[in-house]
A and B are shown apart, each in its own frame.
Chain A
Amino acid sequence: MSDAPLLAVSDLHTTFLTPHGPLPAVGGVSFELGSNETLGIVGESGSGKTVLSRTVMGLQARTNVEISGSVRLHDFEVVGASERAKRKIWGTEVAMVFQDPMTSLNPVLRVGKQIDEILRVRLGMNRAEAKARAIELLDLVGISSPEERYRVYPGELSGGMRQRVVIATALAGSPKLLLADEPTTGLDVTIQAQILNLLDDIKERLAMSVVLVTHDLGVVATRTSRIIVMYAGRIVETGSTRDVFYRHRMPYTRALLESSPKVSSPAHTRLRAIPGRPPNLLDLPAGCAFAPRCPYATAQCHSERPELRESDEAGHAFACWNPLPVTQGASA
C-alpha cells in the first residue's frame, strides 16, 4: 500500500469466443489510476469501454471469454482470481454503478434491504447498525426523508432517485474506487447534472477515485482530470482532460469532438461528420482501426498498427502514425 497506484491495468485483453471467431472487445489496454482521481473513459458503442470496466471489476463471465494481462487493485490481482476472492474486494475496494438503475436493483426488495445487505454481510453490522448506516447513506446521496424512502420499493422511485439508491449501495462498503458505467445515460439533463454533481461531491468527501465511462464528451469535459479515448477495443489517446480536448493529436479524437453538436454553436452549424462507421471487431483491419475512416491515412496506417507513444506533454500519449500538428488549442 505504498506508492503503488490504486489501480494498474497492463496489457489487458478480453476476447469473446463467438461462433464467428474470436472477438477482441478489449485488445491490449494499459493504464494507471492514482488515489482521489477522476478518470474518464470515452468511446462510441463497440469501443470496448464497458467490457473494459467490467473486466477491471472482475465481473466478466468465464464461459467463452479469454482474459489475459493484469488488473491490480492495490495488491490484489483481479485477472484469474476466484469468485470467492473477488467477493472480498467487491464493495469494499471497488464498486460499480451501472447504466440502468432499474435492472441494478431488485424490484421485489425494499430499497433499504438492498443497502443493508452489504453492510451486514460484508461489514458484519447488526440489523440496527445497518439500518442506521443505510439511512445515513440515503441522506448522503441526497434522498429527502431517508427514513421513509428506506421502506419503499425501487418501482416507487423515479429513474434519478433509483440511480441515487444504486450509488448509495455502491458506497456502502466505502470502496476506494468507484466505476461508473454510463451512470447518467438514461436520465434527463437536469437529473443528469444532479447525479454528476453528487458523484463529484462524494468523491471529494470520501476521498475515492472514480472512473467515469461514457459516450458523452460533455459528461467528462468538466468532471475528470484525465481522459482515455477508446476506439475498437484499444486506447487511441490519453492525457489530461485539457490535453485531450485542446491538444489532441489523434484524428479520431478530433473527429469525435467535431462531430458532436454544441449548445454554444449557432443553429444550422454544419457538423463535421466522420464518414463510415466503427469497424467490425471480428474483422479488424491489419493497421490502425481508424484508418478506413481517417482523412490522413497513408499506406503505413493500413498495414501497421500504431502503438501508444508519448507526446511532449507529460502523461499525454496517442496511437497514430500521422498525428495532427501540435496546436495551442483553438479555444485555449
Chain B
Amino acid sequence: MSETRTPLLRVRDLSVTFGHRRKVSAVAGVSFDIYEGETLGLVGESGCGKSTTGRALMRIVEPSAGSIELEGVDITKKKGSALRQLRTRMQMIFQDPISSLNPRRRVRDIVAEPLDCWKSVEGDERLALVNDLLTKVGIDPEVYGNRYARQFSGGQCQRISIARSLAMRPKLLICDEMVSALDVSVQAQILNLLEDLKNEYGLTLLFIAHDLAVVKNVSDRVAVMYLGKICEIGPADTLYATPEHPYTKFLLGAALEADPDAPEHREVLAGEPPSPLNPPSGCRFRTRCPYATDKCQNEEPALEEIVPGHQVACHYPLSISLERA
C-alpha cells in the first residue's frame, strides 16, 4: 500500500444527526479512505451507524457535517443535476432484494432503467448491453429477460439488483447487508459473483454487513463501528488475527464458528450498547469495556495509526498493553 496512492473515496469527520429536539448522532465523526480497486468492509452491530454511513455517502440521508470526496471532488455540497450525475459514479445495493425491485416490471426494463434515465444507449445497443449484464450475473436473458421481478427468488432478485447497479459502469458500489436475507447456499453464490464482477469491472466496494465471516471473506480492509464511531480499521487478515480494540476482540469472540472444535469463547461481552441519544463521555465503549480506566471516561481516544495501515481508537490498544503487562 504505497503512500502516494490517492483514495477513490475520502471521508472526513462525517456526521449524521437525526431528530429535532432530541438529537441522535447516528454517525458521529467518521473518517476513512477507500482506495481504487479495494473492498472495505464495514462491520458492527445494529444501531452502530454502518448503514447510515453508507446512505450518507450516497446522499440518501444528508450528512450534518464532514466531507465526502469522490475522486478528489467534495460531493456533500452537490445539488440537482450535479448530484444526479454523481450518482452514476456510485451505486448502492440494499438488503431486501425483493423490495428493491418493482414487482410489476420486466427484468430487462429494470436493468435498463439507469440507461433509460440517462438515454445513454438506445435501441439494439441498449438491448445488447442489458443482455450482457444479465448474462454476467448468471441470469439467462433469453429465458428470463421478459419475466416480472415478482417471479424470482431472493437470490435471483439480488442478481438482478447487481446487474442494474452495474449498468452505468459505476466506480464505487456500496453493498448494504446484501446477502443477509439469503440462505447460506445462495449467499455463497452471490459472494463469489461479487468477487468475479469486482475484478471484471474494476469495482471498488464498500461492503456493509453485521456478519463477521461474510465481511472477512470479501474485504481487503475492515472497519469496525460502535455507536456511531469507528473503533478500528485494518487489513482484514491482521484485524481478525490480532484485533487491537477491545470491542473488536469481543465481537470476534462472540462470532460462532461452524466447527465443534473451534476454541470456545465464553468470555462474552456483558450488557448492551448504550443509547445513542445519550452516549457515554470519552470512549463510547468504556461502559462495557473490562479494561476501561478514568482516562477512557474523560478523554475520547482518536483514531490513530499504530502500525502502518492499522488504525485504532483506544487509549490502551491490546498489543501495546500486553507488552506493558
Q: Which residues of A contact B (CB under 8 A)?
A: 44-45, 158, 160-161, 188-194, 196-197, 215-219, 221-222, 241-242, 245-246, 255-257, 259-275, 277-278, 331-332
Contact = CB atoms under 8 A, between A and B. Distances in A.
B55 interface: no
Contacts of A44: 183-185
A285 B275 CA distance: 51
Contact of B185 (A160, A263, A277): A277
B323 interface: no
Interface stretch (B85-93, B96-104, B258-266): B258-266
A241 B46 CA distance: 31
Which 3 A/B pairs are nearest by Cβ-Cβ distance? Answer: A218-B256, A217-B258, A273-B188
Contact of B257 (A263, A269, A278): A263
A191 B272 contact: yes
A190 B254 contact: yes
Contact of A222 (B155, B220, B254, B260): B260
Contacts of B185: 44, 255-256, 259, 273-274, 277-278
A261 B190 CA distance: 12
Contacts of A216: 256, 258
Instruction: Report which residue of B45, B258, B260, B261 has the largest number of chain A beta carbons within 10 angstroms of its beta carbon.
Output: B258
B262 A264 contact: yes
Interface of B: 45-46, 153, 155, 183-189, 191-192, 195, 210-214, 216-220, 236-237, 240, 250-262, 264-266, 268-270, 272
Nearest to A255: B185
B210 A271 contact: no
A29 to B, nearest CB: 20
Contact of A262 (B183, B259, B260, B261): B259
Contacts of A241: 260
B262 A222 contact: yes
B237 A266 contact: yes
Contacts of B188: 259-261, 271-274
Given A221-B259, A256-B184, A263 B213 contact: yes
B252 A263 contact: yes
A193 B183 contact: no
A267 B40 CA distance: 12
A139 B104 CA distance: 51
Nearest to B238: A267
B236 A267 contact: yes
Contacts of A274: 185, 188-189
A59 to B, nearest CB: 24
A278 B183 contact: yes
Contacts of A262: 213, 257-259
A218 B155 CA distance: 22
B191 A190 contact: no
A259 to B, nearest CB: 4
A263 B212 contact: yes
A263 B254 contact: no
B45 A265 contact: no
A215 B180 CA distance: 12
B220 to A, nearest CB: 7
Contacts of A190: 45, 250-251, 254, 268-269
A255 B15 CA distance: 43
25 contacts: A44-B184, A158-B272, A188-B45, A192-B256, A193-B253, A193-B254, A193-B256, A193-B269, A197-B268, A216-B256, A218-B258, A221-B256, A221-B258, A221-B262, A241-B260, A261-B216, A263-B213, A263-B252, A264-B257, A265-B217, A271-B192, A272-B188, A275-B189, A277-B183, A331-B259
B45 A189 contact: yes
Given A261-B217, A267-B236, 6 more contacts: A192-B256, A222-B260, A256-B185, A262-B213, A273-B188, A277-B155
Contacts of B153: 277
A266 to B, nearest CB: 6
A261 B256 contact: no
B191 A261 contact: yes
Contact of B217 (A188, A255, A271, A277): A271
A129 B272 CA distance: 31
Nearest to B240: A263
A194 B267 CA distance: 10
Contacts of B269: 190, 193-194
A259 B195 contact: no
A222 B236 CA distance: 25
A188 B257 contact: no
A278 B184 CA distance: 11
A267 B220 CA distance: 7
Contacts of A272: 188
Nearest to B264: A222
Instruction: Report which residue of B188, B212, B262 has the largest number of chain A beta carbons within 10 angstroms of its beta carbon.
Output: B188
Given A259-B188, A261-B191, A245 B260 contact: yes
Instruction: Report which residue of B210, B217, B261, B270 has the largest number of chain A beta carbons within 10 angstroms of its beta carbon.
Output: B217
Nearest to B217: A261
A80 B186 CA distance: 37
Nearest to B288: A190
A259 B187 contact: yes
